[in-house]
């Protein structure tokens, strides 16, 4: 698997996300990143897949463990997010700010980051990408006790989730464990 720690990342875009993808990739290349880009290759790329097909292809490469993480781009980030989320094992998020990127990776273990070229300025996209790539699940963004354990359990349960079993069980989720929540800590701002 091509890992983030070794500076490998997979990217894809439709024409609406192309310029944002290019700005981010140019910055990453200057910092030594190895980028596999499945397209679009230009603003008028006639061979580019429709946004949802490209997103499913990227997500499949992550699900099949060719890459640890990926970033995909369209006009809003929403279309590629919906498509990528159809692939089992993919934890995808639409991100439009650095704090959201930090939470997506440190708290939710997102492996596919989605951004919208219509809404995100290039410098903001670069900072979002760096937050996504320079952090990992539980890497310290949140300060409350059990942060990692709480979110890791949630990710494990989502990975194990089977809708047919859920329905057959009277819409009760199969629990893989319990984590005590520090409500007195998570509702405060670092007091």
**Do both 169 and 94 map to the same domain?**
no
Helical axes 122-133 vs 98-106, angle rounded to 10°: 20
Query: Is pLDDT of 58 > 90?
Result: yes
In the residue annotation, 74 being an active-site residue is answered as: yes
**Do both 106 and 168 map to the same domain?**
no
**pLDDT for res 190:** 46
**Do both 116 and 165 map to the same domain?**
no
> Quick one: what percent of the chain has pLDDT higher than 90?
73
- Active-site choice (25, 74, 114, 185): 74
**Residue 139 forms part of a structural domain:** no
Q: How confident is the model at residue 185 (pLDDT cuts 50, 70, 90)?
A: low
Q: How confident is the model at residue 184 (pLDDT cuts 50, 70, 90)?
A: low
Query: Is pLDDT of 187 > 70?
Result: no
114-131 pLDDT per residue, tens: 999 999 999 999 999 999
**pLDDT for res 186:** 54
**pLDDT for res 149:** 87
Query: Is pLDDT of 77 > 80?
Result: yes
Query: Is pLDDT of 69 > 70?
Result: yes
CB 139 within 8 A of CB 131: no
User: Which domain CATH number covers 8?
Assistant: 3.40.1400.10
Q: Is 55 exposed, middle or buried (0-12, 13-18, 19+ CB in 10 A)?
A: buried
**Residue 30 forms part of a structural domain:** yes
Q: How confident is the model at residue 20 (pLDDT cuts 50, 70, 90)?
A: very high
> Domain of 160?
147-186
Mean pLDDT on 96-115: 95
**Do both 54 and 89 map to the same domain?**
yes
Q: Note the maximum CA span of the chain.
A: 55
Count of the separate structural domains present in the chain: 2
Q: How confident is the model at residue 151 (pLDDT cuts 50, 70, 90)?
A: confident
Q: Is 37 exposed, middle or buried (0-12, 13-18, 19+ CB in 10 A)?
A: middle
| Encoded tokens for 133 | 């790539």
Query: Is pLDDT of 159 > 80?
Result: yes
| Encoded tokens for 45 | 């790329």
**Do both 58 and 95 map to the same domain?**
yes
Mean pLDDT of the chain: 91
* Reported pTM: 0.88
């Amino acid at each position: 698997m091509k890992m983030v720690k070794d500076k490998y990342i997979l990217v894809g875009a439709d024409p609406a996300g192309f310029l944002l993808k290019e700005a981010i990739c140019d910055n990453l290349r200057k910092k030594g990143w190895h980028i596999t880009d499945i397209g679009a290759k230009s603003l008028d790329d006639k061979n580019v897949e429709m946004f949802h097909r490209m997103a499913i292809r990227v997500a499949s490469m992550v699900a099949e463990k060719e890459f640890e993480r990926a970033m995909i781009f369209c006009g809003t980030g929403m279309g590629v997010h919906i498509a990528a989320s159809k692939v089992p094992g993919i934890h995808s998020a639409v991100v439009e700010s650095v704090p959201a990127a930090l939470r997506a990776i440190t708290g939710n273990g997102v492996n596919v980051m989605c951004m919208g070229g219509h809404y995100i300025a290039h410098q903001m996209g670069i900072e979002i990408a760096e937050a996504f790539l320079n952090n990992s699940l539980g890497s310290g963004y949140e300060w409350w006790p059990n942060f990692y354990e709480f979110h890791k359990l949630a990710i494990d349960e989502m990975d194990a989730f089977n809708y047919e079993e859920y329905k057959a069980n009277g819409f009760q989720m199969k629990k893989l464990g319990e984590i005590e929540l520090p409500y007195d800590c998570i509702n405060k701002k670092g007091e």
